[in-house]
Amino acid sequence: MKLVVGLGNPGRKYQATRHNIGYEVLGNLARRFANGPAKSAFQGEVADAELGGQRALLLWPHTFMNRSGASVVLARDFYKLENSELLVVCDDFNLPLARLRARSKGSSGGQKGLEDIIRALGTDELARLRVGIGSPPEGWDPVNYVLGNFGKDEREEVELAVVRAADAVVVWAREGIGPCMNQYNV
């Protein structure tokens, strides 16, 4: 079994914001592959899915971004999963808009949700798929930028990136992080 975590903040206020692109990727996966509706569990919402022949649990933590680790640890421990069976999908403002970057380990790169998951798990050796949201314009507060909505001129490109990111998650589930990196880290 695999555990795929999409990072974001709960509530209507944060829907479609840059910081919630992880939620959007999981939403795409759920529409395409879920075996039923999402349910409340592990301080979030979960849905069972089959990704590339692998059973997967899709997890949307509802703990707010900077407390995501608690939700992830609850789900991981309940299913007795290894960290190698976990993938975190999150935004990254250090990547150009719509660019994907998969990694098997490393720092949080300043992404607060990923940082909390690394802290809670006690290791940075976990797969992550970052989706580029573009850099804040000069003089902008990064917090306001990530909590803002995509511009109308960006939305089409973002929607394509969400589909590509969901496809990358399927490759990870079926083949592992190496093939996912080779195929999607362009």
Q: What is the pLDDT of residue 77?
A: 98
State yes or no: pLDDT of 165 exceeds 90.
Answer: yes
Q: What is the pLDDT of residue 186?
A: 79
Q: What is the mean pLDDT of residues 143-168?
A: 96
The Cβ of residue 102 has, within 10 Å, a number of other Cβ atoms equal to 24
Q: Assess whether 19 carries a catalytic annotation.
A: yes
How do residues 25-84 score in pLDDT, each as one tens digit?
A: 999 999 999 999 999 999 999 999 999 999 999 999 999 999 999 999 999 999 999 999
Percentage of the chain surpassing pLDDT 70?
100
Tell me the C-alpha to C-alpha distance, in Å, between residue 48 and each of 52, 94, 117, 146, 176. Answer: 13, 31, 21, 29, 19
Domains assigned to the chain = 2-184 (3.40.50.1470)
Query: Tell me, what amino acid is at 183?
Result: Q
State yes or no: pLDDT of 149 exceeds 90.
Answer: yes
pTM: 0.96
Q: Which helix (H) or strand (E) holds 76?
A: helix 68-78
Tell me the C-alpha to C-alpha distance, in Å, between residue 101 and each of 43, 88, 93, 128. Answer: 27, 12, 12, 8
Catalytic: which of 4, 5, 6, 19? 19
